[in-house]
Every structure is written in C-alpha cells, then in structure tokens.
Homo-oligomer: A and B are copies of this chain.
Amino acid sequence: MLFAPANRRDLAPKLARSGADAAILDLEDGVAPSGKDDARLAVSESLPTMAESNPDLPVFVRVNAASSQWFAEDLAVALDSGASGIVIPKIESPESVERVQGAIDERGLTGVDVLAGVESAAGVHHVEAIFAAGPSVCYFGAEDYVADIGGIRTRAGQEVLYARSRVALAAHINDVTALDQVVLEFHDDERFVEDAQFGRAIGYQGKICIHPSQVPLANRCFTPTDDQIERSRRLLDQHAAAAVQGLGVIEFDGQMVDEPLVRQARRVVAIADAIGASR
C-alpha cells in the first residue's frame, strides 16, 4: 500500500500509476495541523476522481488518531466520499475499531475495510484485543513505536523484533492481513528489500510504502510467482476432492499436505485473485 499526504493533490494520479495494490490518502502525520481542513477537502475531491479513473484501485484514508480533535470529521468525510477503507493510526484499544466500524454500519456501507495501525506501546500491549475487534488489515509502525517507548531505531531492527513478531502472530490468529513497517530511507533500495524480506520471513504479507519507487520492490518480495500460484491451485483442487471423500490430509507432489500448507496455498491464491482483480 502506498501513502501520500491527502493535500498533495498532484500525487493522486501517481498513486494510481504506481502499481500498488492500494493507495492511502493521509490526513494524519503527513499533514500539518494548519492543513487539515484543506486535506479533508482534498479527500472529498480525490476519492471520486480516483474511483472514476482507476475503479480497481482501493483507496483508503488515514484519519487522525481517535483521541484527536479531527477524528470524527475525518471519518465522516472519508466514508461519505467513498473510501475503500479507513486507516486508524496509533490505535490503542479495540474501541477505536468499534467506533470506525460503527460509523461504517451507520451509513449502511459494506466492504469498507478497517486498517489498524499498531505503532505505540499501548497498541502492541493490546494488539490481541484490538485485532479480535475485527479489523481486516493492519500495519506495524516501527518508527512511532520506538519513539513512543523512548527507544532508538537501528538498521538491524532488533529493538522492534519482539513487537514486530507479536503483531504478526496476533494478526495471523485473527485473520488480519499484516503489512510490515515503513522504510524511511526511500533512496536505499537494498535496505528496503532486506527489510521486506525479513518482514515476509516473519509472517507479514505486504509493505507500507512511502515512495512510488518502493512499490515494485515490495511487489517483487511479496507477490507469489506464477509457479507458486499454479501449484497452490492444484493443491487446493486435490485437497477439495479429498475432502469430499472425508480425507483431511493428502499426498501432493510427493509431500504430505495438511492444514498449514493448505492455508498457505489459500493465501497464495487469494493474493493471486486480488492481483488479478486489481491490476
């Protein structure tokens, strides 16, 4: 998912061309307090335009934190302008998810995603309860987490290994799609790839990008290859056929396949289908 400050109207067309799976118009950290009103106006203008020019690109809006004075209005404008999803930054409790979901339900909207941004000590501390409240997507925000806990970011990233791992596990348990931390150094491709590969190893399914140049790198790291997709479809077909005969475990390409591998195949196919739909 690729971020851009909502008031940078010039960036909206670039989001669509970037190849990202989804775009995020940011009303929070990327927008100064004095620019919040204008950014909100920009959201109401950009969302319909982007939907028209790129109907397959989901466009999320990152509202300001639930504790801020801007939250309620941000949320209203985003939902009323047709946002595909709402990003809740610095989430600290399940109530924020419920509040956003309540605003979605109130409007009778369906298919609007709630993305929980876990990027504070309280967010990590309550992450299991937050994800149980039902967001469909999340990200782990290393920069803000470390600032909040009073630590220091390092390239090796050992200072966030506990939090980053715990968020990935909680996401998996609650069927929340997990997006990995931002890499601020957007001119350093090697660093991004290194970080994305470890994010994938630890269980993340994608990356938050802050620059279009990061998008193809993320796609390469996280997108299954054609071989993997074909193999996964065959595996699911055989598994489904076996299930009809009451079998839960099958032999496939000389390997015994049980639930973890079936779930992995389902994820690969879900990603492939999502890519097919959005590209």
Q: Inside 8 A of A200's CB, which chain B residues have their CB? A: 151-152
A263 contacts the other chain (Cβ, under 8 Å)? Answer: yes
A172 to B151, CA, bound (A): 11
A80 contacts the other chain (Cβ, under 8 Å)? Answer: no
Query: Which A residues from 117 to 132 make CB contacts under 8 A with B?
Result: 120-122, 124-125, 128
A248 contacts the other chain (Cβ, under 8 Å)? Answer: yes
Give the residue of B32, B68, B251 whose beta carbon is less than 8 angstroms from that of A251: B32
Instruction: Tell me, rounded to whole Å, the shortest Cβ–Cβ distance linking A117 to chain B.
Output: 12
A159 contacts the other chain (Cβ, under 8 Å)? Answer: yes
A148 to B173, CA, bound (A): 10
Q: Is A264's CB under 8 angstroms from B162's CB?
A: no
Instruction: Tell me, rounded to whole Å, the shortest Cβ–Cβ distance linking A85 to chain B.
Output: 21
Known: A162-B165, A248-B69. A172 touches B201 (CB 8 A): no
A166 contacts the other chain (Cβ, under 8 Å)? Answer: yes
A81 contacts the other chain (Cβ, under 8 Å)? Answer: no
Q: Is A258's CB under 8 angstroms from B158's CB?
A: no
Interface string of A234-253 (1 = CB under 8 A from B): 00000000000011111100
Interface string of A140-181 (1 = CB under 8 A from B): 000010111111111000110111011011101100000000
Known: A33-B250, A68-B249. A151 touches B260 (CB 8 A): no
* Interface bin, chain A: 35 or more
Q: Inside 8 A of A260's CB, which chain B residues have their CB? A: 90, 120, 144, 147-148
Q: Inside 8 A of A64's CB, which chain B residues have their CB? A: 249
A33 to B173, CA, bound (A): 27
Instruction: Tell me, rounded to whole Å, the shortest Cβ–Cβ distance linking A206 to chain B.
Output: 11
Q: Is A246's CB under 8 angstroms from B69's CB?
A: yes
Give the residue of B33, B125, B201, B263 whose beta carbon is less than 8 angstroms from that of A249: B33
Q: Inside 8 A of A172's CB, which chain B residues have their CB? A: 121, 148-150
Apart from A32-B251, A34-B251, A121-B169: 13 A-B pairs, beta carbons within 8 A? A29-B256, A33-B247, A33-B250, A67-B259, A125-B128, A125-B169, A125-B173, A146-B201, A149-B202, A151-B200, A158-B198, A162-B166, A163-B165
Q: List 16 A-B contacts (CB under 8 A).
A: A29-B256, A33-B249, A64-B249, A67-B259, A121-B169, A125-B173, A147-B260, A148-B172, A149-B203, A150-B172, A150-B264, A150-B267, A151-B200, A158-B201, A162-B166, A162-B169
